[in-house]
Amino acid sequence: MNYPAGIYDDTAPTEPLRTTQLEAYDFPTIMATVVLVGIGLISIYSATYQTPMASYFSKQLIFALVGAGVFVVALFAPVHLVRASIPLLYGVALVLLLAVLVPGIGVKIHGQRCWIAIGGFQFQPSEFAKLATLLMAGFQVASWP
């Protein structure tokens, strides 16, 4: 049976394939994300600019900037550091999920105690836990023999 070179013989390259730094980025996806975030910010601003609820725009802008900062950090973080921090991120997510049960930390909104309020911001730890669980599952699968 004919297999592609390198699959079942010794002709596989011994050096990893190298790409330039710019070729490694998916610019169409990055630009689509930037455009969608921009459209969302414009929509929120246009819907709330004449109301006292204009703080929705400022909160969303802060979240967008924090998200951009996390993206840049993740972009340049060495893979071995990211891989080593996954169990820590998962542990933090579990602690945050339990923290909503503590009165004073967990905030009750619409009858549900599933929010944490820090300053003027409220967030659901379950959103962070979704990402942490996905990363932890990948970490576990990657460590299988």
Residue 1 has pLDDT above 60, yes or no: no
Q: Which residue has the higher pLDDT, 63 or 4?
A: 63
Name the amino acid, one letter, at 87.
Answer: P
Same domain, 123 and 134: yes
Read off the tokens for 106. 């967990």
Quote the CA–CA distance of 75 and 61 in Å, as a whole number. Answer: 21
Cβ of 109: how many Cβ atoms within 10 Å? Answer: 12
Quote the CA–CA distance of 41 and 58 in Å, as a whole number. Answer: 9
What's the confidence (pLDDT) of residue 15? Answer: 61
Strands (E), the chain: 106-109, 112-118, 121-123
In a domain, 8, yes or no: no
Three-state DSSP class for 103? strand
**What tens digit of pLDDT does each residue of 44-77 get?**
999 887 877 667 888 899 999 999 999 988 888 8
Among 51, 76, 101, identify where a domain stops. 76
Same domain, 63 and 113: no
